[in-house]
Amino acid sequence: MSESTEKPTIYKGLVGVYADVSSISKVMPETNSLTYRGYAVQDLAENCSFEEVAYLLWEGELPNQQQLEAFKAETAAEREISPALHRVIKEFPADAHPMDTIRTAVSFMGLEDPETGDISDAAQRRKAKRLFAKIPTAIGAAYRASKGLEPLAPNPKHSFAENVFHLVQGRVPEPEVLKAFDVSMILYAEHTFNASTYTARLVTSTQADMHGAITAGIAALKGPLHGGANEAVMHMLKEIGDPAKAKDWLHGRFDHKALVMGFGHRVYKSGDSRVPTMTKYAEKMAEVVQDRTWMEISRILAAEMLEKKNIHPNLDFPAGPAYHLMGFEIPLFTPLFVASRITGWSAHVLEQGEDNRLIRPLSWYTGPEQRPVPPMASR
Ligand code: ACO
């Protein structure tokens, strides 16, 4: 195909561009709804475990009891990370961001995985499950190493949610907290062609492997316009500190035309389908901890953003305070998003692999006309 001589329409940020078909999830911004494989995400959050949803995303159907037990046993057996990775993690700088450490750990897992270079569907599925199982162990080990603590061994009897708390915090909290965390994992699991998922698909389109695609997805998720927003939300709430200061703080942002983190979305313009469910569970966490400060500031910001700017919150807005109330430190919020989104990313890697074509768009050149290379003396 030759490049056009007339400037074509440029879809900056690929706004409104359908880049491929997908049968994994569907966003319906007109009704603020989202389905995974045909099931409404809020129904999955209320009625299923994260393990069931992971299985659904990969296999296309919810598991029956027997399939679920087999899936849990298979992934629980893969939770340990290697002694070599534990040694590497101990060498990470103590002040490294946990998104950088989990990105590096996943890349390292690719060096060790016996099937790294095998991009057959069966091998890619096995690698996806291994990453799903090992990522919380690596997050926990890196977090604890940064505090001078020894890593904890994963417990194969724990659910996914119990295991994350155990590995990071060294405790398993009460059932309401585990449920709220599991809901966050389900809501974060998948969201069509968002920036990190599209990154993973683009890497896959070159016939690169699963670990490469997921490492790239993690890099894309870190940015504050995407997954990094859940951390930025909590920094913002802490900076405001007091519900009485929320409106003035927000008006100051308006004066500087500054972004307010956790608001706005490329696809949803009248409300993010996941926000009501996550807000409900964040409120429950505020009750458990008996601290309403963060949810009260959030309520004031959301009402004022809607009234003055007509901009709605996105999932990161309630997820930030929910994770804080669950006892996680702020730099762990986006790595927790990774622990969930590995399911959606890898489902897309598998789908891209089924019917692959190299992703390679065009750019419209705006640089200098062709010119001779001047000799060094005349530059
Ligand atoms: N704060 C203030 N104004 C905003 C915000 C915000 N958070 N989001 C959008 N707007 C404004 C834009 O400045 C723009 O105003 P203008 O028309 O006067 O220029 C208008 O709303 C429309 O926004 P878009 O440019 O269409 O937004 P876009 O689709 O390019 O970007 C994005 C979406 C990146 C999510 C943006 O809303 C944003 O930066 N939000 C804050 C970061 C954030 O919360 N990211 C998490 C996204 S969800 C996720 O990744 C899980």
- Do the beta carbons of residue 159 and residue 49 sit within 8 Å? yes
pLDDT at 4 exceeding the cut of 90: no
Tokens matching residue 58: 């990969």
- 5 pLDDT tier (thresholds 50, 70, 90): confident
Tell me the C-alpha distance between 109 and 132, whole Å.
12
Tokens matching residue 144: 């604890």
**Closest C-alpha among 217, 26, 48 to residue 128:** 217
Tokens matching residue 134: 């090992």
pLDDT at 176 exceeding the cut of 60: yes
Do the domains spanning 25-224+346-354 and 229-325 agree at the CATH topology level? no
Strands of 39-40's sheet in order across = 25-28, 33-36, 39-40
Average pLDDT, the chain: 97
CA-nearest residue, atom 39 of ligand 1? 225
- 196 pLDDT tier (thresholds 50, 70, 90): very high
In this predicted complex, what is the ipTM? 0.97
- pLDDT tens-digit readout, 318-327: 999 999 999 9
Look up the pTM and report it: 0.97
Task: Tell me if 134 CB under 6 Å of ligand 1.
Answer: no
Tell me the C-alpha distance between 260 and 221, whole Å.
18
Task: Tell me if 229 CB under 6 Å of ligand 1.
Answer: yes
- pLDDT tens-digit readout, 305-352: 999 999 999 999 999 999 999 999 999 999 999 999 999 999 999 999
Residue 265 a catalytic site member: yes
217 CA from centroid of ligand 1 (Å): 21
Task: Tell me if 262 CB under 6 Å of ligand 1.
Answer: yes
Tokens matching residue 336: 């927790």
The DSSP result for 258-286, as a single string, is ---TTB--SS-SS--TTHHHHHHHHHHHH
Tell me the C-alpha distance between 376 and 46, whole Å.
69
Residue 235 a catalytic site member: no
> Which CATH code for domain 229-325?
1.10.230.10
Tokens matching residue 309: 């700017």
* Sign of the CA dihedral with 321 first, then 327, 333, and 339 last: negative
Tell me the C-alpha distance between 109 and 135, whole Å.
10
- Residue 3 is predicted with a pLDDT of 54
Give the residue-averaged pLDDT of 355-375. Answer: 97
Tell me the C-alpha distance between 85 and 82, whole Å.
5
At 162 the three-state DSSP class reads helix
Domain extent listing, the chain: 25-224+346-354, 229-325
Fold of 25-224+346-354: Citrate Synthase; domain 1 (1.10.580)
Give the residue-averaged pLDDT of 141-159. Answer: 97
- 207 pLDDT tier (thresholds 50, 70, 90): very high
pLDDT at 148 exceeding the cut of 90: yes
- Do the beta carbons of residue 92 and residue 104 sit within 8 Å? yes
- pLDDT tens-digit readout, 42-77: 999 999 999 999 999 999 999 999 999 999 999 999
Which one of the listed residues 113, 209, 272, 316 is annotated catalytic? 316
Which one of the listed residues 158, 191, 211, 265 is annotated catalytic? 265
Residue 312 a catalytic site member: no
A 10 A CB-CB count for 240 gives 21
